[in-house]
Structure 1
Amino acid sequence: MSFGIWAHMGRKLHTAGLAASVSLIATLAAAEPQHGIAMYGDPALPPDFAHLPYANPDAPTGGAMVTNTVGSYDSLNPFITKGTSFWQLRFLMGESLMARSLDEPFSLYGLLAESIETADDRSWVEFTLRPEARFSDGSPVTVEDVIWSYETLGTVGHPRYAGFYAKVDTIEQTGDRSVRFTFNVEDRELALLAGLRPILQKAQWEGIDFAESGIDNIPIVSSPYVITDFEPNRFIEFTRNEDYWAEDVVPFVNGLYNLDTLRIEFFGDEVAAFEAFKVGEINSNREFNVVRWDSQYNFDLIESGEFVKSVLPHSRPSGMTGFVMNTRTDQFDDIRVRDAMMHAFNFEFINDTITGGAQPRITSYFSNSPLAMQDGPATGRVLEFLEPFADSIPQDAITGYALPVSDRSERNRAGIAAALSLMEEAGYTIQDGVMADEDGTPFTFEILLQSNSTENTAIIDIYTESLTRLGITPTITLVDGAQYKERTDVYDFDMTYYRRGLSLSPGNEQYLYWGSDSVDTTGGRNLMGVESEAIDAMINRLLTSESQDDFLAATRAMDRLLTSGRYVIPIYQWNISRIAHDADLKFPDTMPIFGDWPGWQPDVWWFEEG
């Protein structure tokens, strides 16, 4: 780590002293330690809760879960930008001060921290560590580790951590086991986010460049599982730590982490991954293709009952899945062109062809939830929030917007006609069979896809056929996972596949997804390149709302802006999860509202021969 970074960290770090003492005395009456915290009101579970409502405290330990994934990896440090790590690693390796319940929109309960206290206005938050907290090597988790982790992740870690750190004014050690964060902005969610960063062992990284680590330096954490074997691009194996510090100490983990072994197998394509499941090399498979679920799950292990199919409900938002248009490019900086691309995308025909019409379409970023924009014109607080930006946002963000719907025929005459009209408004006409501008320059663009995504390739093949009716011939570029990450990190694409999962408690991560400040961040998540004063204002409103009504209105207004902005061509939503698995792999009957979400599988599962 450079001297400049350490100097920056030093400016924020203050040890307990006169200033801290004065601050503590001045606010002591306004706060007291609690076992948990909620965004609004109180957490649902009382201080003496025994276990999470969706966990089985009587689950036996033992057994293994082997899952598959399509892709590759060259890093086992999921907390930095360098390299490609498996997405699930940060959930399996990162233990934080507080832990999130999947049965409440945004409530946290103590994990590494035994208590949390915060000011009424949430301008600061303080955590007290559990004396039992230990890293996997047996060393204690200290306040020094906590401060080092926040400073390091906030300065040289993955960009997902930088936004929070920029809003921290000071981090102070206020006691042997206590640490306080004071914030420099009004943002009620920060008190909760402060409890959700992974805590790493400072001593491990002495003399090592954290930002450049990868395979050779596996982060030491306090999690219940440790990596015990791996082979790059082939597999990663985790083993349950028999000396896991939180067992019989922390109510939150009672009934969790029952499996002895977790193994993730990597494959080059979906066909190979599915074949491995069919012969039992994999014993849990999450299925996204409904046609395959209905027609190809008739192999011997299913027929014999050794494997079973489970359909699982959830109540979380659809999020956005589809094909994102990069507004940084000349092709897609015009909303009329983006609108034309959406009319040309014949979803109903594609859905019939790929899934037999079985998958409903995503209708907005928060569809399938109470946070979704409502049909028709904006009213009430939603309208009040949008009106100051009426001159700079799409008109139908206020009057009402809905996605184009085709007649399900391959030709999609109405959609193509609408697309032609929109392209003409944007200055393009068909000249000698080719869509071109007034100078005769053809309109074309590149669609960047990962080579192992067969379903996305099939969808794009149908889409490009539709585009030929507009005189548009895009270039389809297939690259491997490493090349794909390298290009999307610097936004080197015109259109690409896009997936953004959203929760019932949207917060600061919204700035990362579509905030103006993240547009130029290398490796950032604002792939669409949106810069909107109105969207920024809605994010700020939902972060500073003191009532659930205002929070709901701000989120619905933001949903209107994102959807009417025509940044992503939506495809399917999954309002259920489909998992086929070994019949001896069990999960509780009670499903949390978030359903199949990080924190549920493998966390609440167990192995029991039946």
Structure 2
Amino acid sequence: MKRLPSILAALVLVVLPFVAGTATGEARHALTTFGEPKYPAGFTHFDYVDPAAPKGGRIVVNQQFAANSFDSLNPFILKGNPAGMVPTLTFATLMAAADDELATAYGYVAESAELDPERNWVAYNIRPEARFHDGSPITAEDIVYSFETLVAEGHPQYRILLADVAGAVAEGPSRVRFDFRPEGRKRDLPLLVASLPVLSKASFAEREFNRTTLDPLLGSGPYSVGQVETGRSIVYERVTDFWARDLPVMRGRFNFDQIVVQYYRDRAIAREAFFAGEYDFREEYTSKSWATEYRDNAAVRAGLIKLEDLPNDSPANLQAYYFNMRRDKFSDIRVREALNLAFDFEWLNRQLFHNLYQRTNSIFQNSDFAAVGPPGPDEVALLEPFRASLPPEVFGDAYQAPVNDGSGNIRGNLRVAIRLLKDAGWEVRDGVLTNTETGEPFEIEFLLYDSTTQRIIQPYIRNLERLGVKSSIRVVDSASFQNRMDDFDFDFVGVAHRQPTLPGAELRNLWGSGAADTSGSRNFAGLKSEAVDALIDAAVKADSYEELRAACRALDRVIMWNHTIIGNWYKATHSVAYWDRFGRPEVKPKYDRGVFSTWWYDPVQSAAIDAGLARSAEQQ
């Protein structure tokens, strides 16, 4: 599954809408959405860290959240295939999110924030000690430059997310003010701008921003880029004199001297490399492998590798198949519903997934924002103006995907699908689904970059063939896949992306009409709907949690009952495996795994692992 570029995923996760506070112009140490921040002014560290965690050692990981190669160290532009983790490890932001709170952040580059009572602007006061890696101070001019450059030259998603920010002004060397458009979604904006990466204006005096590069950008975060083998590996080196190391938001965090990220061609090769000891930590996304290949492994039996299912309290990743509705053959809702009926999740779960997954029935799965039962009065009030343009099911029970018995016999669903296709102007001629007006056959190309996922697509293709649909699979390299996704050059594609703890500005980029034809946006389906746009507006402008929930649940109903996607599957846990070289805090952050930011290297345990690997090598 394709995933969001890491910097954009991070932006989504820290869009923290309404800013708490009581006095006009009062300097606040924290910004939160609803209620009060958990940690008071003067707090020393987050509860989910060990403030005395030792620094040192390294952790080696496999890049699992992006494509299987990289050709650039600039993650902020549309061009290229950037290395993962560059923004989160090497760039600081004005505020740092707390991973044990719902939509709350605390001062990082900014020591305090001030908000206009009408929310027409927010100002941030920059810490005097804030520095880039070359020792130069972070100034308000750098913040202004970062905002203006990302909007003008950065990835198109920045323009979508920041459309309601009128501008940024340096009110002094250490104070920056962001002005918001009066008609905009002001609730989201204060912490949206606070989550932007801080770029060095001076460092771009003699280099172009909007270019791919393998020369590291000047950062200000806890790590800098070290050795790079293009497309194969990247080493992040801990900045030993990191200016923020003693701040409450950083104490006990980012403890490894090195974080090494390695790339492999496909999942099977990466899994074999893990068992061979080439890297230390992986999350397993292939249920068959988790069920059959781990527990009988010799290193697992010897206690050298630990297996865990970590609780996942965050909204589930939205993993789904997307129809490209820019193409006429997918524009009819009856066609999309028919194709959905041919997808047999229960058989996949039984035969391939070892019954480890649950079906995705919501764009907000595993959260309070998923629609439940029939719509309540507050949802109906939002939906009613668009009743004539919406499927009648929107006003009934929450969406439920077709359910099969797991036997593979879905003849009943296929009969319904054939009727829907006939009503939409398609009929089977000589075994081929054909448009009754044009005579064109119905053909679908499935776009993949990971060949191992073909085993999941093939059963679906067999069911589509029973409808007369001619299907093919196109496996391309990761760079070509990225380019085709950016240009919406596909029929049908599987995508997974992280969800924020609270929905907000990212909804425009995922589902809004304005993003449908914007190259590089994440509106993969090409959805254009007045109802959806209105519900997104209601969500991003909601002044209370209850209003936000109602808008999101209504949006969920509209998107799912329009058969915009075929929801896949999810788990409420993270299945992780790691060589037992590490220590970690007693408390896991509620909304994160915490591996890179809170774990540490244990030299005694690591020596035992190395000894075990040596014994294994001698026995072979």
- Relative to the length of structure 2, the TM-score reads 0.90
TM-aligned CA distance change 1:270 to 1:164, over 3 Å: closer
- Structure 2 residue aligned with 1:156: 153
- Structure 1 residue aligned with 2:204: 205
The alpha-carbon deviation at position 490 of structure 1 amounts to 0.6
Q: For 1:523-545, what per-residue CA distance to the aligned partner results, in whole angstroms no more than 9, with x for missing partners?
A: 11111100111111122112211
- Structure 1 residue aligned with 2:51: 57
Q: For 1:255-290, what per-residue CA distance to the aligned partner results, in whole angstroms no more than 9, with x for missing partners?
A: 100011101111111111111100101110111122
Residue identity matched to 2:403 = V
CA contact (8 A) 1:448 1:495 kept: yes
Deviates more, 1:348-357 or 1:488-497: 348-357
Is residue 260 of structure 2 the alignment partner of residue 263 of structure 1?
A: yes
CA contact (8 A) 2:441 2:470 kept: no
- Structure 1 residue aligned with 2:487: 490
Residue identity matched to 2:35 = G
Deviates more, 1:352-361 or 1:274-283: 352-361
- Structure 1 residue aligned with 2:364: 366
Structure 2 CA distance for aligned equivalents of residues 192 and 39 of structure 1: 10
CA contact (8 A) 2:114 2:124 kept: yes
Structure 1 CA distance for aligned equivalents of residues 212 and 490 of structure 2: 28
- Structure 1 residue aligned with 2:523: 526
Is residue 106 of structure 2 the alignment partner of residue 106 of structure 1?
A: no
Structure 1 CA distance for aligned equivalents of residues 39 and 138 of structure 2: 26
Structure 2 CA distance for aligned equivalents of residues 594 and 581 of structure 1: 20
- Structure 2 residue aligned with 1:350: 348
- Structure 2 residue aligned with 1:25: none
The alpha-carbon deviation at position 347 of structure 1 amounts to 0.8
Where in structure 1 do 4 or more consecutive aligned residues deviate above 6 Å?
none
- Structure 2 residue aligned with 1:381: 378
- Structure 1 residue aligned with 2:549: 552
CA RMSD of aligned residues (A): 1.5
Q: How does 1:23-102 map to 2 (within 5 A)?
A: 30-69=24-63, 71-102=68-99
Q: How does 1:231-246 map to 2 (within 5 A)?
A: 231-246=229-244
CA contact (8 A) 1:325 1:332 kept: yes
CA contact (8 A) 1:312 1:595 kept: no
Structure 1 CA distance for aligned equivalents of residues 508 and 317 of structure 2: 15
- Structure 2 residue aligned with 1:171: 168
Residue identity matched to 1:195 = A
Structure 1 CA distance for aligned equivalents of residues 583 and 549 of structure 2: 36
Q: For 1:195-249, what per-residue CA distance to the aligned partner results, in whole angstroms no more than 9, with x for missing partners?
A: 000001111111321101321x31111011111101111100111010110012x
- Structure 1 residue aligned with 2:292: 295
Residue identity matched to 1:459 = I
Secondary structure of 2:177's partner? strand
Secondary structure of 2:352's partner? helix
Structure 1 CA distance for aligned equivalents of residues 457 and 48 of structure 2: 40
Is residue 108 of structure 2 the alignment partner of residue 127 of structure 1?
A: no
TM-aligned CA distance change 1:218 to 1:564, over 3 Å: same
The alpha-carbon deviation at position 89 of structure 1 amounts to 2.4
Structure 2 CA distance for aligned equivalents of residues 93 and 426 of structure 1: 52
Is residue 476 of structure 2 the alignment partner of residue 507 of structure 1?
A: no
- Structure 2 residue aligned with 1:426: 424
Secondary structure of 2:415's partner? helix
- Structure 1 residue aligned with 2:179: 182
Q: How does 1:201-600 map to 2 (within 5 A)?
A: 201-215=200-214, 217-248=215-246, 250-297=247-294, 298-375=296-373, 377-400=374-397, 401-439=399-437, 440-450=439-449, 452-454=450-452, 456-596=453-593, 600=594
Residue ranges of structure 1 left out of the alignment (5+ in a row): 1-27
CA contact (8 A) 1:151 1:165 kept: no
CA contact (8 A) 2:164 2:185 kept: no
The alpha-carbon deviation at position 29 of structure 1 amounts to 6.8
Deviates more, 1:316-325 or 1:261-270: 316-325
Percent of pairs identical after alignment? 35
Deviates more, 1:500-509 or 1:477-486: 500-509
Secondary structure of 1:475's partner? strand
Secondary structure of 2:585's partner? coil
CA contact (8 A) 2:383 2:554 kept: yes
Q: For 1:401-430, what per-residue CA distance to the aligned partner results, in whole angstroms no more than 9, with x for missing partners?
A: 311111212231121111111111111111
Residue identity matched to 2:348 = I
The alpha-carbon deviation at position 86 of structure 1 amounts to 2.9
Structure 2 CA distance for aligned equivalents of residues 132 and 164 of structure 1: 30
- Relative to the length of structure 1, the TM-score reads 0.92
Residue identity matched to 1:212 = R
Structure 1 CA distance for aligned equivalents of residues 25 and 541 of structure 2: 20
The alpha-carbon deviation at position 305 of structure 1 amounts to 1.3
Structure 2 CA distance for aligned equivalents of residues 533 and 569 of structure 1: 21
Q: For 1:289-317, what per-residue CA distance to the aligned partner results, in whole angstroms no more than 9, with x for missing partners?
A: 22211221132322221221121102222
Secondary structure of 2:77's partner? coil
Q: For 1:117-172, what per-residue CA distance to the aligned partner results, in whole angstroms no more than 9, with x for missing partners?
A: 11233221000000000111111111111111110011101122112432222312
Secondary structure of 1:194's partner? helix
Residue ranges of structure 2 left out of the alignment (5+ in a row): 1-21, 606-620
CA contact (8 A) 2:161 2:508 kept: no
